[in-house]
């Protein structure tokens, strides 16, 4: 993961959210690997809360010049779709990220 936010959600490359939804619908656990230094005191509630860093898409001459394509480079996966996080601190539930951030501030 590129980042793990305070509520246990994950910011990662585009497509992670879709994979997590598919895993949940098929009753397959969804695991995320992330180092603890990627834990962040951010609290996005949806994809719309992420900063926009669009990737360029070139469809060539088939795409009209006036058409605007929204192609974000990363997405936000809410904690309800994540089974466990594998970190350098050990295996954690998404809810435990907040606890780790609190402990980090106390040190």
23 pLDDT exceeds 60?
A: yes
Dump pLDDT digits (tens) for 70-106: 767 788 999 999 999 999 989 999 988 877 777 766 5
Res 105: pLDDT: 62
Res 24: pLDDT: 96
Write the DSSP symbol of residue 2. Answer: -
Dump pLDDT digits (tens) for 29-62: 999 999 988 888 777 766 766 766 666 667 777 7
Of residues 45, 60, 62, the one with CA closest to residue 11: 45
- What the block records as the tokens of 10 is 């994950």
In DSSP terms, which residues pair with 3 in a beta bridge? 11
Res 26: pLDDT: 97
- What is the pTM (predicted TM-score) of this model? 0.76
């Amino acid at each position: 993961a590129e980042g793990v936010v305070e509520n246990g959600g994950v910011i990662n490359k585009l497509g992670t959210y879709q994979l997590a939804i598919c895993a949940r619908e098929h009753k397959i656990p969804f695991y995320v690997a992330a180092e603890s230094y990627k834990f962040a005191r951010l609290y996005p509630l949806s994809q719309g809360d992420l900063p926009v860093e669009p990737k360029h898409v070139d469809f060539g001459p088939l795409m009209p010049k006036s058409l605007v394509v929204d192609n974000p480079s990363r997405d936000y996966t809410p904690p309800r779709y994540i089974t466990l996080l594998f970190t350098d601190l050990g295996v954690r539930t998404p809810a435990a990220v907040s606890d780790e951030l609190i402990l980090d501030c106390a040190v």
